[in-house]
Amino acid sequence: MSILVDPSTRVICQGITGRQGTFHSERALSSGTPIVGGVRRGKGGATHLGVPVFDTVAQAMEETQANASVIFVPPANAAEAIIEAVDARIALVVCVTERIPVLDMVRVRAHMTGSRTILVGPNSPGIAVPGLGTLGIMPQGIFLPGTIGIVSRSSTLTYEAVDQTTRSGLGQSSCVGIGADPVGGISASQCLNLFMEDQQTKGIVLIGEVGGTAEEKAAEFLATVVNPKPVVAYIAGQTVPEGRRMGHAGTIIHYGMGTARSKIDALREVGVKVVFSPVEIGLAMAECLRQAGPDSPQGQDKS
Amino acid sequence: MYLFEYQAKALMREWGIPVLEGMVATSERRALDVARELGEGPWVVKAQIHAGGRAQGRVDSADDLSGVEFTDTVLDVGRTAGRMLGARLATPQTMGHGETVNAVYIEPEVKSLAQLFVAFLVDGESAEPVCLASVRGGTQVERDVFDHPHSLIRMKLGSGSEISPAVGLEIASQLGLRISVRDAFARLIQQLHALFMAYDLSLIEVNPLAIRENDTLVALDARLTVDDNALFRQPGMAALASRTDVSQAEELAARYGFNFIQLDGDIGTFSSGAGLAMATLDALAHLDGRPANFLDVPPVLEVSRVKEAFLLVLSNPELRCLLVNVFGAGIMRCDTIADGLLLAHLEQPVKVPLVMRLAGTNAPLAVSRLERSGLSIQFVSDLESAAKTAVEHAHRPALTPKPQSITDRLSSWFSRTRTGSGP
């Protein structure tokens, strides 16, 4: 199986008639992604890319039984688009839009309190499940159905990890880009949890970045997992000079967390194999799986 | 977007937040006038740059001059301002060679009983603004907080656009402030929060916030950062940005929507995606290479923007090599990168060796186009070899040695024409 997306997933695209929405929906459709409709206020009743367009998410869900939405709405209106989807009680929202103001996302998250909708992103390349399709902007032609779960804060490095796990023949179970905005939806820890529970996934690649505490929190989560599957991690920005854009406050708020060092140390502490170049991800994963042995699909004998 | 201290304080003054009466000067002469207008000394002269740590910084023209100087006489104010203006100030928080000081801010020096630290920023984990506060304000605040974690008060503020005075009173009580200043402190917290929400700020840092003898409060320094993603709805802030001094290169980058940071090395980098751009810098640094810049070109369809990005990186005179690392995906296709580079080359011939690693969408097409162009490019298949090749180029003597005498030039021409026909 896969995570977040499965054969019952039916996708609508908010902003389907825009340039980005059109480009990526067309590609997703051609690779077999079940896009069943689109949303664009004022264009309800039209047909675009061969699928019906609706004025609202609620209408689109009513007519198409969609349970997932991909958002390609410009930054100024993206928060409202997420809120609309959440209010329509859709199960999954993937927000590709980047450069959404932080305070808009604060409002979105407050609005989502108590909601069951899962938000991926914003600033997310989306989700790809080889064999099922892509929700978002991940490129076609680099995936291979397989056993590695990939969760990443960086779009382009996600493709690196995909490329390598494809070349090494391991393939991917699911691939999720969670975005690296300060305030976002699903966390790295939550994705790791889903991968730990997913039968098809035998190993996990985590791609992090300096800043924030997603990786430290992921390490805290991994410490609580009994018999975890092998995890390989790469942290981008180990040598990028600190811009100190957030002043003393940015350093103080995390009490020293947030640096590449603190992330690497925290992940190593809980048995994660941390590599120093994205080039090593594929090999490291293969090695971890070999050590785990063919008789331990869950990596039980990892020590 | 970072506001200069004087811009931040002007905004705070407008909102009724207590700051000192200070004035800006951009010349020594004006500094003298400002000092006289501000009344009796002593005065503080502060370099206006887009970075903190000014008191620990050094002005490049002088070993004995920091970015914050205390002065006793009008003449001294003028002299200090004169030495700061036009010089570069490097602090623990600046990049590269520091920033040029184009203005100084002059304020009366005041005595304070205590110096607090107060900051507002968004906590990503709880997805809401938080207020951080400590009674140990000042330049050493980070160390103090790490050494005494309990001295830091951290108050979540919810997602609303207003907070009640009770929030500030609670912080004041946790800080153990004297009863007589708590009301003023609570009001200040409320005003700073309102400012934070109204202008889409990503950071307010008041350090120090002084408590004076008469129990009044005053913000001695102020650092305000605006969320760049919200500038579209903050025209006032955007206008301030257009008047602030960013390097020409960074201004250009901002216009085209690139994430560009000038660094002080000699290997230019060009990547798409912030993660990949960081990984590229990491790979260079592991091999002791010195990146000349950080550049993340967001996925674009327009070749013209890619061209501008190349021209931007190539305009750096320190450059000895350019490393291009692109994974074509989504709307970012490798052939767009190739076309952008070729257009840039037409406009401004590329003089440094190019090392390119192109993968993903349309990589073979891009490579074949570039190979036909006659540009000298080394194509490599992965990031590691790309970094290695680039570092080798950078460590090699420059391709065109700069100052050459006529004799040198003649002899090199002579040897070149000879080599082809040698035995």
Per residue in B174-209, pLDDT (tens digit) is: 999 999 999 999 999 999 999 999 999 999 999 999
Domain co-membership, B125 together with B64: no
- The DSSP symbol for B15 reads T
Q: Give domain status of residue B415, yes or no.
A: no
Q: Of B384 and A265, which is predicted with more confidence?
A: A265
Domain co-membership, B120 together with B100: no
Query: Mean of the per-residue pLDDT values for chain B?
Result: 87
Domain co-membership, B269 together with B300: yes
CA–CA dist A201, A172 (Å, integer): 8
- Residue B298's nearest CA partner among B259, B356, B255 is B259
**Which range, A182-191, B56-65, B300-309, is most confident?**
A182-191
Task: Work out the number of other CB atoms within 10 angstroms of the CB of residue A193.
Answer: 17
Determine whether A248 is an active site residue. yes
Which helix (H) or strand (E) is B64 found in, with range?
none
Q: What percent of chain B has pLDDT over 90?
A: 59
| Phi, psi values for residue B11, rounded to 5° | -65, -45
Domain co-membership, B134 together with B65: no
**A245 to A44, A249, B228: CA distances (angstroms):** 44, 10, 12
Predicted confidence (pLDDT) at residue A240 exceeds the cutoff of 80: no
CB-based contact A12:A72 (threshold 8 Å): no
CB-based contact B19:B12 (threshold 8 Å): yes
How many beta-carbon pairs under 8 angstroms link A with B?
201
- Give the CA-trace dihedral at A85, A90, A96, A99, to 10 degrees: 40
Q: Nearest Cβ partner of B330 from A137, A236, A240? A: A137
Beta strands in B18-97 (DSSP E): 23-25, 43-47, 58-59, 68-71, 88-90
Q: Give domain status of residue B319, yes or no.
A: yes
| Phi, psi values for residue B381, rounded to 5° | -95, -20
Domain co-membership, B339 together with B253: yes
CA–CA dist A162, A143 (Å, integer): 6
Domain co-membership, B70 together with B196: no
- Say if domain A142-303 classifies as CATH 3.40.50.261: yes
Q: Which of A24, A48, A248, A254 is catalytic?
A: A248
Q: Give domain status of residue B359, yes or no.
A: yes
Q: What does the block give as tokens for B383?
A: 């990031």
Per residue in A149-189, pLDDT (tens digit) is: 999 998 888 998 999 999 889 999 999 999 989 999 999 99
Whether a cis peptide bond, with omega within 30° of 0, leads into A74 is no
- Residue B20's nearest CA partner among B42, B38, B37 is B38
Nearest-neighbour CA in chain B from A198: distance (Å): 25
Q: Does B347 touch chain A (CB under 8 A)?
A: no
Per residue in A242-255, pLDDT (tens digit) is: 555 555 666 666 66
Q: Does B327 touch chain A (CB under 8 A)?
A: yes
The angle that helices A155-167 and B274-286 make with each other, rounded to 10 degrees, is 70
Check the CA dihedral A239-A243-A248-A253 and report its sign. negative
Domain co-membership, B141 together with B68: no
Domain co-membership, B391 together with B252: yes
Quote ipTM for the complex. 0.89
Domain residues for the domain of B320 are 248-395
CA–CA dist A93, A186 (Å, integer): 10
Give how far the C-alpha of residue B125 lies from the chain's centroid of Cα atoms, to the nearest Å.
25
Q: Give domain status of residue B241, yes or no.
A: no
Domain co-membership, B134 together with B68: no
Q: Give domain status of residue B405, yes or no.
A: no
A1-123 folds as Rossmann fold (3.40.50)
CA–CA dist A286, A165 (Å, integer): 8
Strands A35-39 and A51-54: parallel
Per residue in A103-122, pLDDT (tens digit) is: 999 999 999 999 999 999 99
pLDDT grade for B411, boundaries at 50, 70 and 90? very low
Domain residue spans of chain A: 1-123, 142-303
Q: What are the DSSP calls for A32-97, one per residue?
A: T--EEEEE-TT-TT-EETTEEEESSHHHHHHHH---EEEE---HHHHHHHHHHHHHTT-SEEEE--
Task: Work out the number of other CB atoms within 10 angstroms of the CB of residue B238.
Answer: 15
CB-based contact B181:B189 (threshold 8 Å): no
Which helix (H) or strand (E) is B127 found in, with range?
none
SS3 B326: strand
Predicted confidence (pLDDT) at residue A128 exceeds the cutoff of 60: yes
pTM over 0.80: yes
Which helix (H) or strand (E) is B226 found in, with range?
strand B223-226
Query: What's residue A42's pLDDT?
Result: 94
Q: What does the block give as tokens for A195?
A: 């991968």
Residue of A nearest to B295 (CA): A240
Number of domains observed in the structure of chain B = 3
Residues of chain B contacting residue A125, judged by C-beta atoms under 8 Å apart:
329-330
Domain co-membership, B254 together with B379: yes
Per residue in B116-146, pLDDT (tens digit) is: 999 999 998 899 999 999 999 988 888 888 8
Q: Does A160 touch chain B (CB under 8 A)?
A: yes
Q: Looking at this protein, which amino acid is placed at residue A257?
A: M
Q: Give domain status of residue B13, yes or no.
A: no
Q: Kindly state the greatest CA–CA separation across chain B.
A: 95
SS3 B216: coil
- Residue B190's nearest CA partner among B145, B155, B229, B224 is B155
pLDDT grade for A294, boundaries at 50, 70 and 90? low
CB-based contact A153:A179 (threshold 8 Å): yes
Here the CATH number for the domain that contains residue B224 is: 3.30.470.20
CB-based contact A93:A85 (threshold 8 Å): yes
Query: What's residue B274's pLDDT?
Result: 81
Per residue in A14-54, pLDDT (tens digit) is: 999 999 999 999 999 999 999 999 999 999 999 999 999 99
Nearest-neighbour CA in chain A from B33: distance (Å): 32
Per residue in B374-389, pLDDT (tens digit) is: 888 999 988 889 999 9
- Residue B215's nearest CA partner among B177, B189, B251, B271 is B177
CA–CA dist B118, A252 (Å, integer): 11
Which helix (H) or strand (E) is A177 found in, with range?
strand A172-177
Domain co-membership, B178 together with B222: yes
CB-based contact B51:A244 (threshold 8 Å): yes
Task: Work out the number of other CB atoms within 10 angstroms of the CB of residue B1.
Answer: 21
Q: What does the block give as tokens for B41?
A: 């000394």
Q: Give domain status of residue B28, yes or no.
A: yes
> Best mutation site among B132, B139, B276 for testing chain A: the one with the most A CBs within 10 Å?
B276
Predicted confidence (pLDDT) at residue B61 exceeds the cutoff of 60: yes
Single residue among B233, B263, B280 that ends a domain in this structure: B233
Domain co-membership, B102 together with B120: no
- The DSSP symbol for A300 reads T
**A218 to A183, A200, A215, A269, B306: CA distances (angstroms):** 16, 21, 5, 12, 36
